[in-house]
Amino acid sequence: MKDSRISITNVRYASSGLAARLGLFDATMIVMGGIIGSGIFINPYVVAEEVHTPELILGAWVIGGIIALGGAFIWAELAAAMPRVGGQYAYLREAYHPSVAFLYGWVLLLVIQTGGMAAVAVTFAKYFLELTALPLSAGLIATLTLAILTAINCLGVRAGSSVQSTLMVLKIAAIVALVFFGAEFLARHVQFFRMAENVAASGGDHFVRRPVSFSLLTAMGAALVPVLFSYGGWQTANFVAEEVREPRKNLPRALVIGVIGVVLLYLSVNFVCVYVLGPAGLAGTMTPASAVMRVALGSKGAALIAVGITISALGFLSQSILTAPRVYYAMAEDGLFFRLVGWLDPRRRVPVIAIALQGVAAIIIALSGRYDQILSYVVSMDFLFFGLTATCIFAFRRAAKSQSAGSASQTSGLARMPGHPVTTILFVAACWLVVINTIFTYPRNTAVGFGILFAGVPVYFLWSRKLKRSRIA
């Protein structure tokens, strides 16, 4: 690692040509939109299958929230130190080597982003068809949805952000409705609430409390995997750093405010799910949000939350299409991808080709029917680079010390990881423990993910050789 390559001030901060049109509210909605998908309406039952008491179920979501908040502070510091287009790509390029950054962009395009988008698009299509009963295929609806959102984002970052913010507000409304009606049901059935507490405390509800042991620790570790996956996504806001007004101030604030907001929403949802359904009831349904609303409001409640899940899935897609193409654009700007991908629409100042490329890739995966298999190794790739990106703080802080006091002061307040280096090391360890867990749990699919990662190595050398030849010429 060469700290001399890193400039925290202005060496690599020449304007990319992107338009800075996003404010604090837009950035906060992007942070929350990147985290909240359809998972929070489903994943609580997966956690309840692993740990069987209200305290442990809610504890898993609290631990996950703490880790996510740590990630928010780390990415806030990185954003303040280097508000560059591409986010993680730029940090890895500066702290380590362009090859590391390229590999991140490579798996983002082929695995992490497009695989997740394909799965969510099909989830949206299934709920949409269930609500509308239209005689169409899920593949067609998923394709049309991805195509429409891609077209909207090609109209400009303001148009894409407006749609994303609107959908995010609707997502929050759906979660608040779930919490409100669930809590209102509990308030009307105080005896039911107390009975649920007494049953859980006595080791009933089909589950027996386990003493502290290694098996309990491994169960909690397994429970944290879907929790951390549900909390992931804050990092995508940094992809659009150069399109945020006053990014050194607004982006760190958006990250911390957005993640805290999501943690509060998630804990509220899980509290309602645990105490309305009970731990065993929660573990026994694959659609806990629908089950809660059905208990509280009957079939109308289940239909209402289905609309909320549909909107939530749509909002996640909108956020993904808005943010990730900036990474491919940054790669093209560096000469490590097709130059055409780095083309900006001269009037709207957005990377139209990069946006379209990601949309087409997601559509292909959605139509292939292999998106579910891809999702099983999205987690390993995502958390591998989470941990690696967090270590960039060490390089950036070392570089800041060698520069003026004015540069160092740019990373203060919210844009500072509290408790560093201990907290940063713990965050990195948590991320890589998730990777290790997925390797042991899903060895075959994880191997495919690493295979795609390593396949990017020769591709990088081909692009870098092409870049060197073009510079010589």
* Contact residues for 406 (Cβ-Cβ < 8 A; gap 6+): none
Q: C-alpha angle with apex 121: 119 to 126, nearest 5 degrees?
A: 95
Q: What is the mean pLDDT of residues 75-86?
A: 87
Q: Residue 429's pLDDT is what?
A: 93
Q: Residue 14's pLDDT is what?
A: 42
Q: Is the peptide bond before 54 cis (omega within 30 degrees of 0)?
A: no
Concatenated DSSP letters of 405-463: HHHHTTS-TTSS-TTTTHHHHHHHHHHHHHHHHHHHHSHHHHHHHHHHHHHHHHHHHHH
Q: Residue 222's pLDDT is what?
A: 79
* Euclidean distance between CA atoms 203 and 262, whole angstroms: 31
Q: What is the pLDDT of residues 347-387, one digit of tens each?
A: 878 889 999 999 999 999 888 866 656 666 788 888 899 99
| Residue 6 included in any domain | no
Q: Locate tokens 């540069």: which residue?
A: 407
Q: Residue 194's pLDDT is what?
A: 52
Q: What is the pLDDT of residues 425-463, one digit of tens each?
A: 999 998 998 888 888 877 888 888 899 999 999 999 988
Q: What is the mean pLDDT of residues 181-200?
A: 66
Burial 45-74 (b: 16+ CB within 10 A, else e): bbbbbbbbbbebbbbbbbbbbbbbbbbbbb
CATH, residue 280: 1.20.1740.10
Q: Residue 13's pLDDT is what?
A: 39
For residue 52, give the nearest of 260, 214, 274 by alpha carbon: 274
For residue 376, give the nearest of 442, 324, 420 by alpha carbon: 442
**3-state class percentages of the chain: helix first, strand second, coil last, to nearest 5:** 80, 0, 20
Q: Locate tokens 């359809």: which residue?
A: 38
* Euclidean distance between CA atoms 297 and 324, whole angstroms: 39
Q: Tell whether the torsion through CA atoms of 329, 335, 337 and 338 is positive or negative.
A: positive
Q: Residue 331's pLDDT is what?
A: 92
| Residue 4 included in any domain | no
pLDDT tier, 240 (very low <50, low <70, confident <90, very high otherwise):
confident
Q: Locate tokens 């898993």: which residue?
A: 60
| Residue 428 included in any domain | yes
* Euclidean distance between CA atoms 319 and 239, whole angstroms: 11
Q: Residue 10's pLDDT is what?
A: 38
Q: Residue 2's pLDDT is what?
A: 41
Domain coverage including residue 324? 21-468
Q: What is the mean pLDDT of residues 280-307?
A: 88
Q: What is the mean pLDDT of residues 139-157?
A: 90
For the cut 80, the answer to whether the pLDDT of residue 421 exceeds it is: yes
Q: Residue 473's pLDDT is what?
A: 58
For the cut 70, the answer to whether the pLDDT of residue 73 exceeds it is: yes
Share of the chain above pLDDT 90, in %: 30
Q: Residue 370's pLDDT is what?
A: 66
Q: Which of 17-26, 67-76, 230-239 has the lowest mean pLDDT?
A: 17-26
| Residue 301 included in any domain | yes
Q: Residue 139 corresponds to which tokens in the numbers above?
A: 């593949």
Q: Residue 406's pLDDT is what?
A: 47
Q: Residue 41's pLDDT is what?
A: 85
pLDDT tier, 103 (very low <50, low <70, confident <90, very high otherwise):
very high
Q: Which residue has the higher pLDDT, 390 or 186?
A: 390
| Residue 292 included in any domain | yes
| Residue 1 included in any domain | no
pLDDT tier, 102 (very low <50, low <70, confident <90, very high otherwise):
very high
pLDDT tier, 12 (very low <50, low <70, confident <90, very high otherwise):
very low
DSSP state, residue 56: H
Q: What is the pLDDT of residues 113-136, one digit of tens each?
A: 888 888 888 888 888 888 888 899
| Residue 12 included in any domain | no
pLDDT tier, 142 (very low <50, low <70, confident <90, very high otherwise):
very high
Q: C-alpha angle with apex 134: 133 to 138, nearest 5 degrees?
A: 100
pLDDT tier, 267 (very low <50, low <70, confident <90, very high otherwise):
very high
| Residue 401 included in any domain | yes
Q: Which residue has the higher pLDDT, 340 or 372?
A: 340
Q: Is 22 helix (H, G, I), strand (E, B) or coil?
A: strand
* Euclidean distance between CA atoms 419 and 197, whole angstroms: 37
Total domains, the chain: 1
Mean pLDDT of the chain: 83
Question: For residue 13, which amino acid is it?
Answer: Y
Q: Residue 408's pLDDT is what?
A: 44
